Every structure is written in C-alpha cells, then in structure tokens.
A and B are shown apart, each in its own frame.
Chain A
Amino acid sequence: MSQDKATTTAPKTMGHSWDGIEEYNNPLPTWWIWGFYITFIFTVVYWLLYPAWPIGGNYTKGLTGLHTITYTAKTVDGKEVEKTTHWNMRSKFLHEMNEMEAIQKQWFDKVASMSYDDVAKDAELMQFVNSAGKTLFSDNCAPCHQAGGQGKIGFAPNLTDDHWQFGGTYDEIHQTIEHGRRGFMPAFKEVLEDQQITQLANYVLSLSGEPHDASLATVGAQLFKSEEAGCYYCHGADAKGNTQMGSANLTDKIWLWADVDGKAGQEAKLAEVKRVITSGLDRGVMPTWGGRLKPEQIKLLTVYVHDSLGGGR
C-alpha cells in the first residue's frame, strides 16, 4: 500500500498571497461534502412530493396529494358535515378521530343490535363495555357520581351498591340516563314540632338497626304512618321507598342523603337524620343525556352501570 500522504506532507496552500498572508487549503472531509450534496437532492425531491412553492395566491401542490385533509365534524345544530381544509395538525387530529370512531363503531353497533342480557353473557363484548364504558363514564358521569361510580352522600347516589333510587333494571337505568331524574323531599320544619321530628328520626334510625331511643321510635312509627306527617305517601307504609318517584328505602343500610355512617355517636347520627327531615331535599337532579349522547352510547353506559359498576341484580 502507498504511504499515507496526510501524515507525511505539510498542508498545501491555496496558491495566493496578499501582503505575505497565505491561506492553507484544508478541505472538508469528503463524506461531509457528500452529505451536504444529498441535502440538495433531498430538497428537490421534497419540492416534488409536498406543497412547497408559493405562486401568487396559489402554491405548488406536490405529487403526494397531501395538501388537503378531509374530516367529518358536527355543527352547532348537531348536523354532521364533511369538511376539506388545507393540511394542518388540528384537521389531521379530527381526521384520525374519525378513523378511530369508525373502528369503534363495529363494537358499538354490536352492543346496539343485541339485547341487554345477550351483551352481559358475551365475555369478550363485556371487555369492550368495561373499557369504552369507563371512558364514557369518566367524561360524562364522573363529575357527580365520582370516577369509580361511588357517588357522594348528600349529592349523587352511589352506583356500585345494590340500592336503586329509580330502579335498577336495564330499562329503568336506560330511562334514567336518557331522560334524567329529579328527586325531591319537602321540608317538615313548618309542619311538625321539633319533638315529632326527633321521634321520626329515631324511628328511621331503628329501621336500619342504628342506635336509637326505642320509646321515641315507637311514637315515630305511628307518626310515620299518620296523615299528620304523611311520610308513607312517598316512602310507603313499610318504609321501603318507591322507585317510581325515587323515594329512598329507609330500611336498608345505605344512606343517600343523611351521612349516618360518617357520624360517630347516637346524638350525631340523630342530628343528621333530623337535618334531612327538617330541611327536606331539592338537590336530587340527574340531567337528561338523550340528545347529548348517541343512543348506542347510552345503551353501552346502561350495561356499564348495570353490570360493571353495580349491583343491577
């Protein structure tokens, strides 16, 4: 092999001299120069493939046809329209969301076409219900019912237990989501004496097996069924409530509005129940979701609430 020139000879000069100043000729490495040339080739190819040069009010479109993007969007009045815009990230995002919706659609369609019972029997479809339902629930329901559907006493009912204020069948849950609900209990502070409210509260506590004054509860039981207080109009003579009007079952261990479990001691629990009877309730509002959610989304949420979250049985 030949002797290596770079190690034995001094650098060459450019061959010119100004006032005795000479310039060394140290060229850039060949691979670097070639890399530089390749960027030129790349540029030309890029110009051909993609939108590049402005021409007056127009521009070169490129051969790939990527200068526009089409997506389907919902207008304010709920109509779906197809839009074509110049290529931009936001439109691309919407376009990709359309594609994802198309992929999900086959599953939503499957849920929509089957009966509730058949959906619940299909283990693989229930996997989809669990994951898609969780997203829908988090987006729409969680602000009131909390992320896991556990609700909040005095604000929104717990959907994971087996008590259903307005009924726990598939059809009843569907009705609740689609049309909304409104729970109401009148205030009794103008109607009853404080002593009577104490008697009623003791009776209510006794129904759930909470500590109470037995003699006061006995009187309370009479009052409950009397025309004077009229509790049984809504809660029923057996105090088990009525899902038609959303009155609570007072005999079970679940508290919807009075946070009895959260209070320690008989006095505090009593005061909590008395508070509800005295002031009544006008907060049990569930908004209507029909029109806001698509029918197949409501159906999927129904299965999710019934089977994945709760004790629909």
Chain B
Amino acid sequence: MEASSSTNGVKKSPLLNRHIPIVTRSVKGKFRTFKTAVMLIAYSVYFLLPWMPWDRHNGASQALLFDLESRRFFIFNLVVYPQDIFWLAMLLFIAAALLFFTTGLIGRAWCGYFCFQTLWTDLFIMIERMVQGERPARLRLLKQPWNTEKILKMGASHGLMILVSFWTGVTFACYFTYAPDFLPKLFAGTAAEAGYITVVVLTITTYVAAGLSREHICTLACPYARFQSVMYEPDTLAVAYDVRRGEGTAGRKVPSKGLRTREERQAAGHGDCIDCGFCVQVCPTGIDIRDGLQYQCISCGLCIDACNNIMDSIGSPRGLIRYDSEQNIASPTPHKPHLDWKRPKVLGYAAALLIASLILGYNIGSRNDTDANVQQIRQPLFIVLSDGSVRNRYQVNIANRTDDDQRYELKVQGIPAKSLDIGNIPEIRVRAGKTLSLNVKVDLPADMARNTKEFFFVIIPTIADAEPVVIKTHFNGQ
C-alpha cells in the first residue's frame, strides 16, 4: 500500500530519512508521448551535433565548436570572439526571462520536460525497465537477496547507464575539440589531459546524478526548483488534483460491491478517485499529487496520463488530475482550464524577453568584421622633437573577424595625413581571426600641437562594402 508522506504526521528532512528507492511504473498518454518526443529531439541534437560537418576554411570543419585553444567559438557561420562576452550576458538574461515567463504561465515546464536531469533520469529509468522489467518485477528484484539474477540484472542496467554516461561525457568533450580527431585519440590514449578529465568528470556526474541521486537532485540540490515556486501565481497553470471531484463528501474509496458505477459512488458521497495509487506509482519524485501542489513536483504530467487511463477504464470523465490553476480549482464555478496570459507579470516577462532578444539579434547582425581600438602610450605623455614638434605614440589594435587574411589602411583625420608614421611596415595585413597591434607615432608642429586636442584614426578594410572604423583619440600637446 502506498503511504503518502503526509500520513506520517511529522515530516522530517529527507536528509535524515533512509533513502527509499523510487521505482516508477511506466504509463502511456499524451504527456508521456510529448516527453518522449522532446527526449528524442534533445538527444538527437546533443549527441549528433558535434558530428555535423561545416565547410569552413578558417578553423575546424565542425558546425558547432567551442574552440578554447584559439579562443573562438564556431557556431555554424558565426564566429564568436572573447570580445563578444556581452552576448553571453544577454543570452543568460534571455534564458532567465524565458524561465520566468514560462513558469509564470504554465509552471515548471522546464523541469518536467526539458531539464537534462529529467531527460537523463527518464532515459535511465527506461533502461531499468528494459533490463529488469516493469515496476512489480523491479520491486521484487530490489527485495530479493543478492543472487545471480539480481547481480546480472542490476549489473546490466547500471553498466548500460555508465555506458550512456560515458558517451554523454565524450559527446560533451567533442563540443570543445574537433570530434573526428578526438575520438580515435581518446581511445588510443593520446588525447589531451583536459579531454580525459572532462570525460571522466562528466561520466561520473551523469551517472551519479541521473543513475543514483535522481529526484534528490531536484528536491535537495537544485536551486531553480526552489525559486521557481515563488513565480507561481493563483492563475498559473499547474498539475493539480481536483479535490472536490475526487474526494466528494465522503472521501476517496476503493471500488467495492455497491460502489462500482459513478452513480452508485456519487449517491454514497464518494468522489471519482478510486485510490488506485497509479498517480503515485508513476511519479518520478515519488509524491502524491492528491496532497496538493508540492515543491517536489517537477510538473511532468505523468500522473495526469495515469489518472486519465484509469478514468477511461472506469467510465468516468478525464481530468481528475489536470493542468489547472489554483484559483480555478478552488472556485465554486470552475470554467474550462485555459492559459491566462493577460497578467502584468507574464506580459512584463514577455516584453523583457522580446526586448533582450531584439537587442541580441541586432547586435549579432550588425557586428563589424573589423574591430579596432586605440590606446595612447602615456609614458611619456608627449615627446618634444629636435625641431620643436610634438610626438604622441599610440598602440592601434586591429582585429580581423573574417574568415580570410585581410589588408587594412590606417589613416588619420583632423590632422595632416603625413603626421602619421606607422614605421617600416609595408602593409597592414591581419590573419583571419587574429588581432594585430601596431605601434604608431603622430608628429605635429609645435603650434598645431598646442591647438590639437583630439583627432581620428580611420581604419579602412580593403574588403568590398566594408565600413571604415573611425576612432576618436586624444592628442597631448605641451
């Protein structure tokens, strides 16, 4: 018999309790189908993306490569440089706004369907079911002593989990190095040390988190799980048990003689819940949704599937457990559950999301292929030359963000062209994806130096249609 956590009367911290392994029953239904579809897509993307080739003559031909060694991220046709760190801030802001937006609207959708902890746990539970069988078989296996059958089945399922964890680690490492080179090297023992560390750490953490700790990561470790709760509003759609319908006036009741049909049960005051316990058995965090909204609920919807199947089989309408808002469940005249998005909080998050996405999109779209900056050499601040003219020196850094080597012209504006001296360098050529820094000198006659406070450096790329970069600079006269 299932004992819900509240029946103990006293709730103790799960840290002090003995770990009760949660053995879930499989279930069919629309949420299960959705979860499986998300899983398939997510795994396809994660495991296959590093192997996608991409024609690129300036770097490895891998579609997605976070090349830490050359300090460049290759994302399809986009090359991201360390100077673009601002994008990361925007991306994190967008991710946060998106999380707030969806949580305010439909609760912890991230946790239930998309979080990698959920995805890998789901996969590992599937492996367990494949090897050890359905819930009753697994429970029996857990209770039986360590004989050959138990060792074989446990060993096989955990071996498979470790194998998946290992491949997860290998795939992760493949995002940071050229995958077709890395894989043979990894097994030949000649890959870089960082590669082995990454694979080992990822293998261990994946196996421990999804194979051993499972729901404890969500209930004890994950901060997002906790702070998403405060984003719920009375109008937020959440997985909820319709207490009035389920309990009736006389409480839930297992069907027995005289209490089989809906009419008989309603006449006796019992609700639609037949206390079959399926909703608890399918729950990956082992809670009883009938106790109401709980912090452990990752909002995966599997209990909805389980209950709907039971309702179908006993001939009651579906939706005893459903996505509904707290307000609607409590209302004396409940309406059909719907997305209530006309709320300031939701609209506010949506606006923030939209603005941040537009800014990031504009920033990426309008990035100049030539990035340049000028630093004045301030030691000494200025130099008096033998004819009385004044010299300032500058370090000009030119970054070439194109895929080819480029030539640039450096000019000055606001002062005579001949005041600029770039030394003996015949032409300014910057390699693809690299930065060149030049030490240049600017000499002005004494009277002009006294009246010149600033001028402009103009960096002209020789690529067709490329805009010149103009940088305002100070000049120190006497």
Chain A residues with a Cβ under 8 A of chain B:
1-8, 117, 120-124, 126-127, 130, 146-148, 150, 158, 160-163, 209, 249, 252-254, 261, 307-308, 311
Contact = CB atoms under 8 A, between A and B. Distances in A.
B429 A123 contact: yes
B424 interface: yes
Contacts of A158: 380, 383
B436 A127 contact: yes
A8 B8 contact: yes
B68 interface: no
Contacts of A252: 386-387
Interface string B383-397: 111111001010000
A258 to B, nearest CB: 15
A205 to B, nearest CB: 14
B423 A130 contact: no
B16 interface: yes
B20 interface: yes
B386 A253 contact: yes
The 5 A-B pairs at the shortest CB distance, nearest first, are namely A148-B379, A252-B386, A150-B380, A120-B424, A253-B388
Contacts of B425: 120-123, 126
Given A7-B8, A127-B437, A252-B386, 6 more contacts: A1-B20, A2-B20, A6-B17, A8-B8, A148-B380, A160-B383
Contacts of B378: 148
B380 A123 contact: no
B391 A1 contact: no
Interface of B: 2-3, 8, 10, 12, 16-18, 20, 22, 286, 377-380, 383-388, 391, 393, 423-426, 428-429, 436-439, 441
A71 to B, nearest CB: 22
A160 B379 CA distance: 10
Contacts of B17: 4, 6-7
Nearest to B430: A123
Nearest to B286: A1
Contacts of A130: 437, 439
A81 B95 CA distance: 58
B382 to A, nearest CB: 10
Given A3-B3, A150-B379, A307 B424 contact: yes
Contact of A261 (B384, B391, B428): B384
Contacts of B385: 161-163, 253-254, 311
A123 B428 contact: yes
Contact of B380 (A126, A160, A249): A160
B184 to A, nearest CB: 26
25 contacts: A1-B3, A1-B20, A7-B8, A8-B8, A120-B424, A120-B425, A121-B424, A121-B426, A122-B425, A123-B425, A126-B425, A148-B377, A148-B378, A150-B383, A158-B380, A158-B383, A161-B383, A161-B384, A209-B388, A252-B386, A252-B387, A253-B388, A307-B423, A307-B439, A311-B441
Contacts of B441: 311
A8 B383 CA distance: 86
Contact of B18 (A5, A127, A160, A161): A5
Contact of B423 (A4, A6, A126): A126
B424 A6 contact: no
